[in-house]
Amino acid sequence: MAVAPSGGTGRDGWSSRTAFILAAIGSAVGLGNLVRFPAEAASNGGGAFVLFYIFCIVLIGLPVLLSETLIGRHGQSSATQSVRRLAVESRASPYWEGLAGLGVLAAFMILAFYCVIGGWVLYYIGLFFLDLFQSGVTGGALQGLSAEQIEAIFPALQADGFTMSGFDIAFVAITLYFVARGVSGGIEVVAIWLMPAFFALLLLITIYGAFGGAFTDTLGYLFTFDFSKLTGEVMLAAVGQAFFSLSLGVAGMITYGSYVGRDVNLAGTSAIIAFADTSVALVAGLCIFPIVIAAGLSTEGGLGLMFATLPHAFQSMPFGSVIGLAFFIMVGFAALTSSVALMEVPTSWAMEKFKTSRALTAITVATLAGLLGVASAYSLNTMSGFHPLGFIPLFEGEGVFSALDSVTAKLFMPVGALLVCIFVGWIADPKLVDSENGLDGALHKFWRFLVRYLCPAALLAIMVAGLSG
């Protein structure tokens, strides 16, 4: 079934509905699913947090996801032009395109520091690849090193701006290769091959942890229902996790939706994407924590859990070198599918804005993102005295890396998604919206209620909490 946009535009598009679903899942699934969600669930009431998180995905994440996708499918253009077209046809101000412009800027900024993290993943893939030949298939990982030496690898990497910059540029180059080849010839290839491979590795490592790790303890750790911990602050954390997990507010789903044909039901497809993204988050905890708990290590630490604690845990496990390599390859797949989506957003926008070729536009975007990424890498140590947003109290003391992260997460993403809700729920012509969303009857009325009232309220709460924190 062809999914490429029709209408004689000659615009590149997805070759099938499956390709679009895999690409959209790849865009949403990232490091937040693999690290942040399990840690949040474990420290915030276990099963109670998980249950409320799923509730937030259904009532907040999914409605916004569908809203972004339908804007793109209707516009059949870059994110800004898609919003502009829907606004003009709704007899509203064309300046509503600014909501997508904010998302394009956010996507570019996230791309810059996200590729630095992708570079860390490449570094660890190389580390475990070399270790596999030294330790052998059956042995633990990183033999010959003490626990302190293993956990010191990550801080040492962060202190080495030159090495980080090299791996950052390498990751940007890999991302560029697929984006420059277009939607059906590049981005889709990443989705079709890497996402199934990602799911297979995630399942295999989870099965390994179930038999070789503390799987029973993990089930109790993650899914014991403790509603006493489900405070207002924890519920807000669940709302934020649901929102950020689906990569909303960065115009990514508007851009990907613009490559979808009219024969695809966006409501059903969006539900599949949200379900897959949530499933990955849940399984990630069952993949990581049995290994960590069995090694007697802490389950806290965010990125440190992935890059410091887990390598230590792999050391004491049978086949640790193999499992460690497989794990970081899996993480690399997730990081690459997300970075490709992030790079596609500003590339699509700039192609239409400046009428340039895809290859030249992608190279330009990659170059600028790479330069900003290098500054982000060095800001983690040697340029840590440079605080670009130090004049704003909220961002005082933050380097380039953390400033990019904070501005996008606390401001650009929630504001962008909030504007999407206002635009779709209140501004756009209901007839045009209804022709795209694939809903009818009571379900359609419920979705419109969520987009108009509940989602904006939740997004305002996320933004206020982020800016006041």
Q: Where are the domains of the chain?
A: 25-468
Q: pLDDT value at position 390? A: 63
Q: What is the CA angle 291-297-298, rounded to 5?
A: 110
Q: Hey, which of 46-55, 129-138, 400-409, 455-464 has the most confident mean pLDDT?
A: 455-464
Structure tokens at 218: 């993990």
Alpha carbons 136 and 139: distance in angstroms, whole number: 6
How far is 58 from 63, CA to CA, in rounded Å? 7
Q: CB–CB of 14/4 below 8 Å?
A: yes
- pLDDT band at residue 2 using 50, 70 and 90 as cut-offs: very low
Read off the pLDDT of each residue in 89-96 and give the average, rounded to a whole number: 97
**Facing residues of 46 across strands?**
225
> What does the block give as tokens for 275?
């379900």
Q: Would you call 225 helix, strand, or coil by DSSP? A: strand
Task: Looking at 90-187, list the stretches that DSSP marks H as alpha helix, in order from N- to C-terminal side.
Answer: 98-135, 147-151, 153-158, 161-180
Residue 63 is predicted with a pLDDT of 97
- Structural tokens at position 179: 């984006």
pLDDT at 45: 72
Look over the chain and give the mean of its residue pLDDT values, rounded to a whole number. Answer: 90
Q: 320-354 and 188-212 helices cross at what angle (nearest 10)?
A: 160
> Above pLDDT 70, what percent of the chain?
94
**What is the per-residue pLDDT across 155-176, written as a single tens digit (0 to 9) for each?**
999 999 999 999 999 999 999 9
DSSP, collapsed to helix, strand or coil, labels residue 3 as coil
Q: Is the pLDDT of residue 389 over 90?
A: no
SS3 46: strand
Over residues 273-311, the pLDDT tens digits come to 999 999 999 999 899 989 988 888 887 777 888 999 999
pLDDT at 8: 41
Q: Which residues pair with 225 in a beta bridge?
A: 46
C-alpha separations of 453 from 60, 202, 447, 457, 458 in Å: 10, 37, 10, 6, 9
Q: What's the pLDDT band for 392 if we cut at 50, 70, 90?
A: low
Whether 363 and 169 have beta carbons less than 8 Å apart is answered as no
SS3 58: helix
Percent of the chain with pLDDT over 90: 67
How far does CA 145 lie from the centroid of its chain?
Answer: 33
Tokens of 191: 């989705």
Whether 348 has a pLDDT exceeding 60, the answer reads yes
Q: Are 225 and 388 in contact (CB under 8 A)?
A: no
Burial class (CB in 10 A: 0-12, 13-18, 19+), 224: exposed
Q: Which CATH class is domain 25-468?
A: mainly alpha
Residue 57 pLDDT level (bands cut at 50, 70, 90): very high
What is the pLDDT averaged over residues 13-37?
Answer: 91
